Structure 1
Amino acid sequence: MGLALSIHTLFAAIWVGGMFFAYVCLRPTLAGIDAKTRTTLWAQVLHRFFGYVFLSAALLLGTGLHMIRSLGGMAHVGPHVHIMLTLGLVMMLLALHVYFAPLKRLKRAVIAGDVAEAGRRVGQIRIFVGINLLLGLIVIVVASGGRYFFSGFAGV
């Protein structure tokens, strides 16, 4: 259980930390750069980042389900685990959407030299990353404090 929890925590930090860095640090810094360079950079950064997102999602799901099973299943874990799992699955679905829709279109627009379209796709991705970042931060709060927030429930 200790190894699963360590891997789970590490890859949650990688995914949510990566989104925080991109949204809060990188995005405002790139605002002053010309649109063609900015959209090309975003396409390359996001392509690289999504390798870590998919690795993180797979490990988070695998270790999370392993820990739930080790604790006796969903009927034996607290509400905070149900919330974590639900929000985590929503985050994974949003990440898949971004990768297979707006990011794919961003890459096509960059290759075609369509800076306006690439800019629209970066804006669309920004919205989804903002939503996923918010969900990820909520998951961290629930994961770290949930057993105390819901201490009156059985199985906590």
Structure 2
Amino acid sequence: MMLDPLLLLLHVAGVVVWVGGMFFAYMCLRPEAATQLEPPPRLRLWRGVLARFFTWVWVAVAAVLASGLLLIGRAGFAAAPLNQHLMLLLGLVMMAIFVYVVFVPYAALARGVEGADWKGAGAALGRIRQLVGTNLVLGLLTIALATAGQLLG
């Protein structure tokens, strides 16, 4: 089947963009920005960085969801191994968290930066940090299920 490798490539590329981006933002950019920048420029930086990143995450989410559903559907949902069902479940939870982040705390961050409400923007960024940390853990767990999860049976 020539389609399966292309779907898998699309799926893995989406995961790399999304989970890799979260890892970079959470583990590298966040701690350095906190030590280098005062709140106003730091919050403006995060607003811009997240706006760019979220555009790519929307594309990645669409790619991961579409390719994942096609891959599991081609094999048959009932015949799919447990790790694939768990990957789908975790992926849907991650997508729900992402949508919430964009429309609630990120929107509050953007409003806070626009209105120079640094305390409110900082609180929104703190909530985003927590949720991205959660999604990062879920993403890494999903990758573990994709690779070593076949041991589940």
- TM-score normalised to structure 1 length: 0.94
Q: What is the deviation of 1:146?
A: 1.2
Task: State how far apart, in whole Å, the 2-side matches of 1:85 and 1:43 are.
Answer: 30
Task: State how far apart, in whole Å, the 1-side matches of 2:17 and 2:112 are.
Answer: 28
Provide structure 1 residue ranges, at least 5 long, that are not aligned to the other structure: 152-156
Q: What does residue 38 of structure 1 align with?
A: 42
Task: State how far apart, in whole Å, the 2-side matches of 1:31 and 1:65 are.
Answer: 39
Task: State how far apart, in whole Å, the 2-side matches of 1:10 and 1:48 are.
Answer: 17
- The number of aligned residues is 149
Q: What does residue 83 of structure 2 align with?
A: 80
Q: What is the deviation of 1:87?
A: 0.2
Task: State how far apart, in whole Å, the 1-side matches of 2:73 and 2:81 are.
Answer: 13
Runs of 4+ in 1 over 4 A off after TM superposition: none
Give CA deviations for 1:49-91 in whole Å, capped at 9, x if unaligned. 00111111111010001111111x2101100001000000000
2:23 pairs, out of 16, 20, 25, with: 20
1:100 pairs, out of 98, 103, 106, with: 103
User: 1:6-155 residue pairs with structure 2 within 5 A?
Assistant: 6-32=9-35, 33-71=37-75, 73-147=76-150, 149-151=151-153
Q: What is the deviation of 1:93?
A: 0.2
Q: What is the deviation of 1:150?
A: 1.8
Q: What is the deviation of 1:121?
A: 0.6
Matching residue's letter, 1:34? E
Superposition CA RMSD, Å: 0.7
Q: What does residue 154 of structure 1 align with?
A: none
Provide structure 2 residue ranges, at least 5 long, that are not aligned to the other structure: none
Q: What is the deviation of 1:114?
A: 0.7
Q: What is the deviation of 1:144?
A: 1.0
- TM-score normalised to structure 2 length: 0.96
Q: What is the deviation of 1:97?
A: 0.1
